[in-house]
Chain A
Amino acid sequence: MKLKWALLSLVFTMALVLTGCEPLLVLNPQGPQAETQANVIWISIATMAIILIIVLAILITVLVKYRASKQSDDYEPPHIKGNPIVEGIIVGFPILIIIFLGIVSVNSVYKVEATPEGYEDQEPLVIYASSSNWKWHFSYPEEDIETVNAVFIPEDRPIEFKLYSYGPITSFWIPQLAGQKYAMADMVTTLHLAADQPGDYMGRNANFSGEGFAENIFDVTVLTQKDFDKWVDDIHNTAEPITEKEFNKLLEPGHLGKLFYTGTHLDFSPAPEGEHAGHNHGDASEHEDHLEHSHH
Chain B
Amino acid sequence: MEFFERFAIPHPSPLIYASMVAIGLVSIAIIVGITYFKKWGYLWNEWLTTVDHKKIGIMYIISALLMLFRGGADAIMMRLQTAVPENSFLDAQHYNEVFTTHGVVMIMFMAMPFIIGLMNFIVPLQIGARDVAFPRLNAISFWLFFFGAMLFNLSFVVGGSPDAGWTNYYPLASNEFSPSVGVNYYNWALQISGIGTLMTGINFIATILKMRAPGMKLMKMPMFTWASLLTNVIIVFAFPVLTIALVMGTFDRQFGTHFFTSMNGGMDMMWANLFWVWGHPEVYILILPAFGIYSEIISTFSQRNLYGYKSMVWSMVLISLFSFTVWLHHFFTMGQNAFTNSIFSITTIAIAIPTGIKIFNWLLTMRKGKIRFTVPMLYSIAFIPLFTIGGATGVMLGMASADYQYHNTMFLVAHFHNVIIPGVVFAVLAGFTYWWPKMFGFMLNEKIGKWAFWFLSIGFCLAFFPMYITGLNGQARRMYTYSEATGFGPLNLLSFFGAGLMAIAFVLIVYNVYYSFRHSPRNVGDDPWNARSLEWATHNPVPEYNFAVAPEVKSSEALWDQKKHGHKLFNKEYEEIHMPNKSGVPFIMGVLFFIFGFSFIFAIWLGVILSAIGIFACMIYRTFEQDHGFHISVKEIKETEEKFGGADK
Contact = CB atoms under 8 A, between A and B. Distances in A.
A186 to B, nearest CB: 5
A211 interface: yes
A71 B370 CA distance: 7
A15 B464 CA distance: 11
Interface in A6-24: 7-8, 11-12, 14-15, 18-19, 22, 24
Interface in A100-134: 101-102, 104-106, 108-114, 133
A52 interface: yes
B28 interface: no
B172 interface: yes
Interface string B12-53: 000000000000000000000000000000000000000000
Given A41-B405, A105-B345, A186-B267, A214 B335 contact: no
Given A24-B472, A77-B303, A98 B352 contact: yes
A247 interface: no
A77 B302 contact: yes
A65 to B, nearest CB: 8
A40 B352 contact: no
Contact of B268 (A52, A186, A212): A186
B175 interface: no
Interface in A58-97: 58-59, 62-63, 66-68, 71, 75, 77-82, 86-87, 90-91, 93-95, 97
Interface residues of B, number: 98
Contacts of A190: 335
Nearest to B314: A91
A185 B262 contact: yes
A230 interface: no
A106 B368 CA distance: 41
B405 A179 contact: yes
Contact of A206 (B385, B396, B476): B476
B328 to A, nearest CB: 12
Contacts of B268: 169, 184-186
B88 interface: no
A52 B385 contact: yes
Contacts of A173: 408, 476
Contacts of B349: 98, 101-102, 105
A179 B346 contact: no
A187 B462 CA distance: 41
Interface string B79-119: 00000000000001100100000000000000000000000
A296 to B, nearest CB: 6
Most buried by A among B345, B404, B473, B476: B404
A224 interface: no
A136 to B, nearest CB: 14
Interface stretch (A43-51, A139-147, A233-241, A257-265): A43-51
A162 B399 CA distance: 24
B487 A171 contact: no
Nearest to B263: A278
Contacts of A59: 363, 366, 381, 384-385
Interface residues of A, number: 99
Given A62-B367, A67-B371, A184-B268, A24 B473 contact: yes
Interface string B416-449: 0000000000000000000000000000000000
Given A4-B454, A26-B472, A51-B388, A94 B353 contact: yes
B402 A108 contact: yes
B458 A180 contact: no
Interface string A201-230: 010111111111110000000000000000
B400 to A, nearest CB: 5
Interface in B348-392: 349-350, 352-353, 356-357, 359-361, 363-364, 366-373, 381, 384-385, 388-389, 392
B302 A66 contact: yes
Nearest to A82: B308
B254 interface: no
B346 A106 contact: yes
Nearest to B411: A26
B554 interface: no
B171 to A, nearest CB: 6
Contact of B408 (A49, A180, A295): A180
A37 B333 CA distance: 14
B269 interface: yes
B597 interface: no
Given A52-B385, A62-B363, A213 B478 contact: yes
A181 B466 contact: no
Contacts of B367: 62, 66
- Residue among A56, A167, A207 with most chain B CB within 10 A: A207
Contacts of B309: 81-82
B469 interface: yes
B480 interface: yes
25 contacts: A11-B462, A18-B469, A24-B469, A26-B405, A48-B393, A58-B360, A67-B371, A68-B372, A79-B305, A81-B305, A90-B360, A101-B395, A102-B349, A105-B342, A106-B346, A171-B407, A178-B404, A181-B333, A206-B409, A208-B169, A208-B478, A213-B479, A214-B92, A278-B265, A281-B265
Given A62-B367, A171-B407, 9 more contacts: A11-B465, A25-B473, A66-B302, A102-B345, A112-B404, A179-B402, A181-B334, A184-B262, A210-B164
Interface of B: 92-93, 96, 163-165, 169, 171-172, 177-178, 262-263, 265-269, 272, 302-305, 307-311, 331, 333-335, 337-338, 341-342, 345-346, 349-350, 352-353, 356-357, 359-361, 363-364, 366-373, 381, 384-385, 388-389, 392-393, 395-396, 398-405, 407-409, 454, 458, 461-462, 465-466, 469, 472-474, 476-482, 487, 490-491, 494
